[in-house]
Amino acid sequence: MSTPAPAPAESLPPGTTGSTRARWIVLAVVALAQLMVVLDGTIVNIALPQAQQALGMSDSDRSWVVTLYALAFGALLLLGGRVADYWGRKRSFLTGMAGFALASALGGVATTPEMLLAARGLQGAFAALLAPAALAILSVTFPGGRDRVKAFAVYGTIAGGGAAIGLLLGGVLTEYFSWHWCLLVNVPIAAVAIAAGIPLLKESRAEGDTRYDLPGAVLVTAGLASVVYGFSRAEYGWARPDTIAFLAAGAVLLAVFLRVEAVSNHPLLPLRVLADRVRGGAYLVSILVGAALLGGLLYLTLYFQIVLGLSPLASGLASLPMTAAIIVSAALVSKALPVVGPRILMTAGPLTAAAGLLYLSRISVEGNYVLEVLPGQLLLGIGLALVFVPLQNVALAGIESRDAGVASAAVTATQQIGGSIGTAVFTALYAAAAATGSGEPATLAPLVEGYSSVFLAAAVALAAAAPISWFMVRVDRRMFSTSSEAVHLG
């Protein structure tokens, strides 16, 4: 089967026709926005102990500082993608960026737990508008060929390495300034992106019927929020009535959402976006990788600080090898993609990353970073690069121009929802393993056993992505080496 090419020349920014330089500047602006959104998922992790003490937060409030951002982000992404398609991608990008900066400023000056939690929720909501607009702009700016592969390689590198960069930046800001700057740092980043985006970006939007699917928006937002919240309650018991009720309600709401989308003449998420086997496979892989990445990194950070006794800065620096492995590998993967195609890369990637997490599951209380952690980090970084570089290309290959925003939102939504669910599930597994672990409660042994169980579970999740890629991601490799968007799916 052949998928149509997104061809509207008017979607390109000013000067992009025949101007390679302008297109790469647009990539820099979009990459800056993506980095800000991704690193904010982890930048506060290292600052949480200091923020908790300063604001007098409970342990429950502390966990919601992380969860609330991902929850608002993931639940509102599909709506944000449709707003970008209909309202305009440039307008949505600039509005999302400005709103994200204001929410960050509110969190940076927070004096109560309620202010901080409100700011994190607002950050997630504006990120849900910003992220799909940014990816849609990238998709229409680079409609095909080798330049598209390179552009999405940069984007995929940031998607994979941004979380680790957030840990490093959070460590620097927390140790040398204060936890407030983990949020305030977004303000100057947003200012630069807005100043560059106003003259560079050209508006593009979907044509035709642009009515909003309000029933679909309510159903999918409530359904995703209910599922994520239900998994978060599993920390206190899978058989609890509230855990079961929220998970069941979420499943029902999402089923009704799909039914509504099937009969709507202006759906929030056109089922044609999901019906493509290759794209559907990419979304499934994205969910599993998002769960393993965000959940695994959180507990690796805890191991660095609690067991190894590293400072916030040292903990951030200890995360650098994985980021370096992603960056170096991504450059090589982008060159290999037109030669071997995405199927082999997206099958080898999860297995390599799973091997890294499996290696990390061997950590001990004594903690030898070079022998017990570093090899696993390097394998994890290489594996993530093998996945993320082709993933963005495959998920948006052949998408119609009018669906660019919502398809982009679906890519990010799968990663965020996967990360939210993964973090919640891994937290429940950690709590169970730590509670039954060997050693006295005051010792570190139960904690290490809990961390090990999380890494093992994350490895299983990643390994499950490999057969999905092998059997579902069948794309003609020639689409990555020509300027044409004709895609032949196996």
9, pLDDT greater than 50 = no
447, pLDDT greater than 80 = yes
CA 436, chain centre distance (Å): 32
Q: Which of 171, 179, 177, 162 is nearest to 127 (CA)?
A: 162
Is there a single domain that holds both residue 262 and residue 304?
Answer: no
Is there a single domain that holds both residue 394 and residue 441?
Answer: yes
> The pTM is what?
0.77
Is there a single domain that holds both residue 407 and residue 425?
Answer: yes
Is there a single domain that holds both residue 136 and residue 260?
Answer: no
Is there a single domain that holds both residue 157 and residue 255?
Answer: no
pLDDT at 3: 41
Count other C-beta atoms under 10 Å from residue 313's C-beta: 17
Residue 28 tokens read as 């820099």
pLDDT at 481: 63
* Domain end marker among 267, 282, 298: 267
Q: Which of 6, 4, 7, 24 is nearest to 16 (CA)?
A: 24
Q: Which of 194, 40, 153 is nearest to 103 (CA)?
A: 40
Domain limits for position 162: 2-204+268-488
**Bridge partners for 67 per DSSP:** none
6, pLDDT greater than 60 = no
CATH number at residue 471: 1.20.1250.20
pLDDT at 466: 95
* Domain end marker among 225, 248, 267: 267
Pair 35, 134: CB distance under 8 Å: no
* Domain end marker among 267, 290, 308: 267
SS3 label, residue 486: coil
pLDDT at 422: 81
Q: Which of 14, 324, 29, 8 is nearest to 151 (CA)?
A: 29
159, pLDDT greater than 80 = no
Q: Where are the alpha helices (DSSP H) in 306-341?
A: 312-318, 320-340
Is there a single domain that holds both residue 354 and residue 383?
Answer: yes
Element (H, E) at 2: strand 2-3
Per-residue pLDDT tens digits for 49-65:
788 888 888 766 777 78
pLDDT at 224: 84
Is there a single domain that holds both residue 152 and residue 223?
Answer: no
Q: What is the mean pLDDT of residues 137-156?
A: 76
Is there a single domain that holds both residue 200 and residue 101?
Answer: yes
Name the residue with higher pLDDT: 360 or 366.
360
Rg (CA), the chain: 21
For CA atoms 487, 138, 400, 9, the dihedral sign is negative
| Per-residue confidence band for 482, with pLDDT thresholds at 50, 70 and 90 | low
Q: What is the mean pLDDT of residues 111-117?
A: 91
Name the residue with higher pLDDT: 196 or 4.
196
From residue 340, how far is each of 152, 183, 387, 397 by CA, in Å?
17, 41, 14, 17
Interatomic CA distance for residues 413 and 388, integer angstroms: 15
Name the residue with higher pLDDT: 360 or 77.
360
Quote the number of domains for the chain.
Answer: 2
| Per-residue confidence band for 12, with pLDDT thresholds at 50, 70 and 90 | very low
Is there a single domain that holds both residue 128 and residue 238?
Answer: no
Q: What is the mean pLDDT of residues 70-86?
A: 83
SS3 label, residue 488: strand
Interatomic CA distance for residues 209 and 409, integer angstroms: 19
280, pLDDT greater than 90 = no
pLDDT at 260: 93
283, pLDDT greater than 80 = yes
| Per-residue confidence band for 131, with pLDDT thresholds at 50, 70 and 90 | confident
Is there a single domain that holds both residue 147 and residue 233?
Answer: no
Per-residue pLDDT tens digits for 391-435:
877 877 777 767 766 777 787 778 877 877 787 788 778 878 777
**Bridge partners for 488 per DSSP:** 2
What single DSSP character describes residue 239? Answer: T
Residue with tokens 């700016």: 141
Mean residue pLDDT of the chain comes to: 82
Is there a single domain that holds both residue 367 and residue 466?
Answer: yes
Highest mean pLDDT out of 230-234, 265-269, 437-441 = 265-269
| Per-residue confidence band for 487, with pLDDT thresholds at 50, 70 and 90 | very low
Specify burial of residue 277 (Cβ count, 10 A radius: 0-12, 13-18, 19+). Answer: middle
Interatomic CA distance for residues 38 and 255, integer angstroms: 29
| Per-residue confidence band for 161, with pLDDT thresholds at 50, 70 and 90 | low
Interatomic CA distance for residues 229 and 246, integer angstroms: 7
Is there a single domain that holds both residue 328 and residue 359?
Answer: yes
